[in-house]
Amino acid sequence: MTRYLSPEEIGDGKGSPSRIYSDQFFRDNLGMIIKKKEIDVLDFGCGSGYIREILADLGYTVNYTGLDVKKHKHFDDYSKFCPSEFVKGEAETVVLNKKFDVIVSMCALEHIKYDHQAVGNLSRFKKPDTIEINMIPAKMSFPLYLSHGYRRYNEKDLRSMFGPDVIIYRIGGWFSFLLHFFFITIPQRILGLYEDLAGIYYKLLKKSVFLNSLFSFPAVMYITVNRDFGHYLSFKEKVKGKIDQIWLSFKLKYFETKKRYFVYFHLPKTAGTAIKYYSRKRGVTNRLLTLPHYCNIFNTKFKGKVVSFGTVRNPLTWYLSLYKFKMESKEKGYNRMNNNSFSDFIDDLVLFKNGPEGIKKWHQPLKADSAPVWIADNYHNNFGFYTNNFFYYFGNGSTVEIARMENLEEDLKRIFEGEIDLRIERKINTSEPVKLADYYTPEMIKAIKEKDKRIFERFYPEDL
């Protein structure tokens, strides 16, 4: 399977478009690919081994082995991020005395003379559930890198080397291709002018995210992953999302060129029911669409005309609200959980003590394409159930406006900028702090603040 994958945005950094885009891929998606908290990593053709910094930033505890024919002068600079070992040798013939949870390469295979032999040899050091991730230049990169390495690859080459089921992501696009050619290839590789890239280059590179999504050919880099991951929509959701997208595109293009529309993605237990109720009551549903999840269902070409937004609440009250719903719900299709304590709930959904089954038992009867099933099967145990839900509904959240449930009306005014009047008449229940002590122990609160630290840091830093 081959997919085009564009980041929602790219962070600051120096280097070529391919390197910055690929680094962003790792920062955005490793949390969904690698679910173990403690990992043994083999980085072949490691160079400086800078992926150690990315893994540390994402909260992994890493035992790192770097393999290369020569030790890079900056290899030891990154050893501060995790215990590290350098092995001098060739990937085709090296013998290692351990097996690894993750085997990764960053633009290395094109420099290995016998690449198939290298992949076959390193497979001896895999565990049954080893994750393999490789960053590999496409044949379209020849004009950019010229004579650099032994070869470039197409999709057929990659399937021949990694097997027919490998997941292939195409990275980049026409605009970043041109940026590389005119700002790096011509001045540096052809003219030999190795000066720092101008500030305008990095400004244009940030703009390239949107432009590449419109002109994704040619993508000059591939990333291969031996295990699928991502956000799955049911057939009904895909159809509804596509119809909404086509209809909205038609209206914006021909009838309402000056209006903005708002798309609400409802993360459960964050006042979504109130937003939907009052949008109907105020008669603004024609400009406020509601979708079940994941903001990237809408094409980025609507950027500026369509505002995606969602809601969050303090993790402590979110877990309590979800627990009480599971205990007390009388809605058809939901099983009550009367025989389970709040401590059981925290063990299953925050500490992940009982694995995927611990999550699924709180969501019976299961729907095959539901959010809890996807999260259970793709759960990242560095994070709590709430943070996993956030990833599921909003991606990394960089393209979504977020309203806090605790000051909902004020935040909605900020998001709507006076274009929609959505007054919330009744008080939104946020579980009074005095009641938290009836459920939480200090150990539970500490666990949630660790597991859902990202939510606290971004939206509730005052509560950390």
pLDDT tens digits, 137-161: 999 998 998 888 999 999 989 988 8
> Is 444's pLDDT higher than 80?
yes
Residue 63 near residue 40 (C-beta atoms within 8 A): yes
pLDDT, tens digit (0-9, with 9 covering 90-100), for 24-81: 888 878 877 887 889 999 999 999 999 999 999 888 899 999 999 999 999 999 999 9
The three state secondary structure string of 229-248 is CCCCCCHHHHHHHHHHHHHH
> Is 123's pLDDT higher than 70?
yes
Sign of CA dihedral 441, 445, 450, 451: positive
Sequence spans of domains, the chain:
2-225, 235-463
pTM over 0.75: no
Residue 106 is classified by DSSP as E
pLDDT, tens digit (0-9, with 9 covering 90-100), for 372-385: 877 887 777 778 99
- Angle CA(46)–CA(52)–CA(56) in degrees, nearest 5? 170
Higher pLDDT, 147 or 88: 88
Mean pLDDT over 208-221 rounds to 77
CATH number of the 235-463 domain: 3.40.50
Residue 13: CB partners within 8 Å, gap ≥ 6?
Answer: 19, 20, 23
Place of tokens 């890198």: 145
Most confident listed range (282-286, 391-395, 447-451): 447-451
Q: 311-320, 431-440, 452-461: which range is least confident on average?
A: 431-440
Confidence of residue 396 (pLDDT cuts 50, 70, 90): low
pLDDT of residue 421: 82
Residue in 105, 57, 58, 52 with CA at minimum distance from that of residue 82: 52
pLDDT of residue 300: 39
Half-sphere exposure of 363 (CA within 13 A, CB side): 21
Q: Kindly list the distances between the CA atom of residue 418 and the CA atoms of 307, 406, 412, 415, 423, in Å, as whole numbers in the listed order.
A: 13, 20, 9, 8, 11
Pairing of strands 288-291, 261-265: parallel
Architecture of domain 2-225: 3-Layer(aba) Sandwich (3.40)
pLDDT of residue 273: 83
Confidence of residue 459 (pLDDT cuts 50, 70, 90): very high
Place of tokens 């990237």: 296
Contacts made by residues 112-115, CB under 8 angstroms, sequence distance 24+: 112/45, 112/150, 113/150, 115/150, 115/151, 115/161
> Is 87's pLDDT higher than 90?
yes
**Fold matches, 2-225 and 235-463:** yes
Confidence of residue 228 (pLDDT cuts 50, 70, 90): low
- CA 464 from chain centre, in angstroms, equals 24
Residue 46 near residue 71 (C-beta atoms within 8 A): no
Residue 313: CB partners within 8 Å, gap ≥ 6?
Answer: 269, 270, 271, 321, 404, 405, 406, 430
pLDDT, tens digit (0-9, with 9 covering 90-100), for 247-288: 766 766 676 666 777 888 888 899 888 888 888 777 777 777
